[in-house]
Structure 1
Amino acid sequence: MSSSAFTFPGQGSQAVGMGKDLAAAFPEARAVFEEVDDALGASLSTIMFEGPEDELRLTEHAQPALMAVSVAVVRVLDAHGIALRDHAKYVAGHSLGEYSALCAAGTFSLADAARLLRTRGQAMQKAVPVGHGAMAALLGLDLATARAVAAEAGQGEVCEVANDNAPGQVVVSGATGAVERALELAKAQGAKRALLLPVSAPFHCSLMQPAAEAMQAALAEVDMQAPVVPVVSNVLAAPISDPAEIRQRLVEQVTGVVRWTESVTWLTSEGGVTNLVELGSGKVLTGLAKRIAPEASGRALGTPADIEAFVAETKA
C-alpha cells in the first residue's frame, strides 16, 4: 500500500509562465489546458503562459489556473504509468487546492472543476467591496495566541483566523481596520513579523458568507463521484469520501479555517503517510510540510524535469 499523499497548492502559488513548460513537453498537459479554455469559453492558458500578472492574480483566473497546472501534472504522471489511485493513499489541497485534489481523484470532471473555481473566485471577490477587507500573516505566534489577537482586534468588526499554515505561520482575515489592529497587537504579543498580504479580498472568514451561498448553489448543480482515494478536508483535517459530505464541506470551506497544519499532521500520524508529494505550481506546500512534519519526505512536481525524475525513481 502506498505511503504517499498527493497535495495541491492554493492561491499565491501562481506565476506568469505557469504550465508553459509542461504544455511544451507533454501532450497530456496541453490537452488539459485546452479543455479548461473550452470549459471557460476563454483563453485562460494565454493569461497563464504570457500574463499580464495583474490579470493572472485576479482570483477568478488564479484559482482555475492553479487547478489546471495541478491536474496537468496528474495526467502526465498517469500517462507515464503512475496512476493516482495506485500511488497516493490520500489527497489534500490548500483552499482552492482541495478542488484540484478532488478533480485529480475523480470527484469532479475537469470542466466542472474549472467552472466551479471561476465561480468561486468571482463570488469571493464580490462578497466584500475592494478595500473593505484584508488578510495578514502573523509569523512566530502559535494558533491560540493568533486567535486571541484576532478576537481582541475585532472591536465589533470581523477578524478571524483564516489559515493555520504551519507552526508559527497563521493568517488572519476580516475587515481592513480590524486586521490592521491585529498587526499591532501581534507585534506586542511577540510576533517575529506581522504583515498585510497582497490579496484582493478577506478569504476564509465570515465576511465570505455570500460566496459560501453562491458555492452551495453552484455545487448543487454539479455531478460528483466518490474520490478514488479519500480527501483530507480543510475544515475537518480528516479524510472524507462521501460526495454529499464533500459538497457540504466545500461550502463550509469558503468561510472556514484552512486547517493545513492539522491536515498534514493527520496524514503523517493517523494516515501513515511518509511521503508528501506536491503537484502543480510552486513549492509552497513542500516548504510548509518541512515545518509541520520534518520526519516526512517532501517534494514538489511542477516542471518537466521534476516529473521525469519522479517517474524514473518510481519505476526503478
Structure 2
Amino acid sequence: MKKTALVVCPGRGTYNKPELGSISSKIAEDGAKVRDIIHQIDAVRAELDCPTVTELDQMDLYKSRVHQSPDNAAALIYAAGYTDFLAINRDEYDVVAITGNSMGWYTAMACAGCWSVDTSTRLVTNMAQLTAGGAGAQFIYPLVDGNWQPSAEYRARVAEQLAAHQGDLMMSINYGGYAVLAGTTAACEAAIAALPMVDERFPLLLPGHAAFHTSLMSEASEAALERWPPVLFKAPHTPLVDGRGHCWSGHIASAEALHGYTLGHQVTQTYDFTRAIQVAVKEYAPDHIILLGPGSGLGGAVAQALIQCNWQGLDSKESFSARQQRPHPYVLSMGLPEQRALVTGHGSENNK
C-alpha cells in the first residue's frame, strides 16, 4: 500500500558549496526523464544569455559570486528541487500536497503543474532579478531554545525591535523556530546591533538578500504582474498550500487568483512557512513529509513547526530526533543520501 506524502520545497540560500555537482550526479541515478528536464532548463537559460544549470553545477570550484548570484542561485534551487520531485518513487508514495518556503513556492508551483518548464525557468530567473534589485536587507533570529521549545524572551526581543522600527522593519518569514526579519538597511542594522547574541551566531545577516516578503518589494511585484499574465498559469494537479496556509485545490483554483497571489501577496507580504506546514499536515495528514533538495536545511524548521502544534505528540527536539531514529523516518530529506534512497528507491532495500 502506498504511503501518502507532503512535499516541501526549499527557499533561497540552499545551494551552497556542499551541493556543487549534486544535480549532475543525480541525473545518472534518476534517468532520462530528469536528464530531459535539465536539458530543457539549460536551453531556456542559454536563450536568456544566462549560465546554464549544468555549467554552474559542474564547475570545478564553488564561487560565491557566481553561484550565489540571485538568478543563478534561483535556477539551481529550482532545478534541483523540481528534478528531486520527479525522482520520487510513485509506486511507494502518493503525493497528496505540496508546499514550500519563500522561493520554494515557485518550485512548488512547477511541481504542481501550474507552469510549463519553459515558463517556470523564465519566471524563476526573472523574479530573482527583480527582487534582488530591491532595497533593504534580511536577517534571522531564533524564537526557540536549544530544545526547540518556544522562548518568550526571544519572542519579546523580536517584538520590541518590530515596534521600535515600525514600518521600516517587518516579519519577512515565519520560519519554524526562527523569525526572518527584513526592512530598510538602516533598520536592519539597528535591530541587529540591539538584539542580544544567541549561540554566538544570531542575529545573522543573510548576505545578498533584500527585504523579501515586505512592502519594499512592491515595485518588483508590480513589474512581475505586468510581465507575467494569468494565461501562463494553470490550476494545480496536486493541492498546494501557500505562505498564508491557504489550500489551492485543482478543481476550484483559478489561474487569475494564483497569478495574483504568486506575484502580488507572496512577494510583498509575510511568508508564514510555519503555518503552511501546520495547515498541510492537519489538512492532508501525510504518512511522511518529503523535503526536496538542494541541501537538507529545511529539516529543523519543519520539525519546529510540527513541535509548535504538538503534531503526533512531538514536543521537543529530543522527541523529534527519537521519531527520526525509526527505520523509516517521518521526515525524509532528499538532501541526505540514506533518506533520499528511501524516497527514490535507488539503493534502498526497503523500497525494492
| Normalised TM-score (structure 1) | 0.86
Query: Is it true that 1:182 corresponds to 2:191 in the alignment?
Result: yes
Taking the TM superposition and a 5 Å limit, the aligned residue runs for 1:115-264 are 115-128=122-135, 133-140=136-143, 146-154=158-166, 158-167=168-177, 169-187=178-196, 193-220=202-229, 223-234=232-243, 236-241=244-249, 242=253, 243-251=255-263, 252-264=265-277
Q: 1:97-149: CA deviations, max 9, x gaps?
A: 11111111111111111100111011012223xxxx21111123666752442
Secondary structure at the counterpart of residue 165 of structure 2: helix
Counterparts in 2 of 1:82 and 1:3: CA distance versus 1, 3 Å: closer
User: Gaps (5+ residues) in structure 1?
Assistant: none
Give 1:218's aligned amino acid: R
Q: Counterparts of 1:305 and 1:222 in 2: how far apart (Å)?
A: 41
Q: Which runs of 5+ in 2 are unaligned?
A: 144-150, 313-329
Which of the residues 73, 79, 101 maps onto 1:62?
73
SS in 2 for 1:249: helix
**What is the one-letter code of the residue matched to 1:22?**
K
> C-alpha separation between the residues in 2 aligned to 1:59 and 1:262?
26
8 A contact 1:4–1:276 mirrored in 2: yes
Q: What does the per-residue CA deviation read over 1:124-179, in whole Å, with 9 as the maximum and x for residues that have no partner?
A: 12223xxxx2111112366675244223135xx62111011013x10111111101
Match of 1:19, SS? helix
Distance, in Å, in 2 between the alignment partners of 1:248 and 1:74 is 25
| 2:142 is the counterpart of 1:96 | no
1:282-297 pair list within 5 angstroms: 282-294=295-307, 295=311, 297=330
- In structure 2, distance between residues paired with 1:308 and 1:214: 41
Equivalent runs, 1:67-78 vs 2, <5 Å: 67-77=78-88
CA distance in 1, matches of 2:213, 2:155: 15
2:41 corresponds to: 36
> What is the TM-score with the length of structure 2 in the denominator?
0.78
Distance 1:307 1:244, change over 3 A: same
Q: Does residue 1:300 correspond to 2:333, yes or no?
A: yes
CA distance in 1, matches of 2:168, 2:65: 27
Structure 1: distance between partners of 2:141 and 2:203: 5
| Matched-pair identity in % | 20
Q: Please tell me the root mean square deviation across aligned C-alpha atoms, in Å.
A: 2.7
Q: Is the 8 A contact 1:2 1:89 kept in 2?
A: no
Runs of 4+ in structure 1 over 4 Å off: 80-83, 141-145, 188-192, 303-306, 313-316
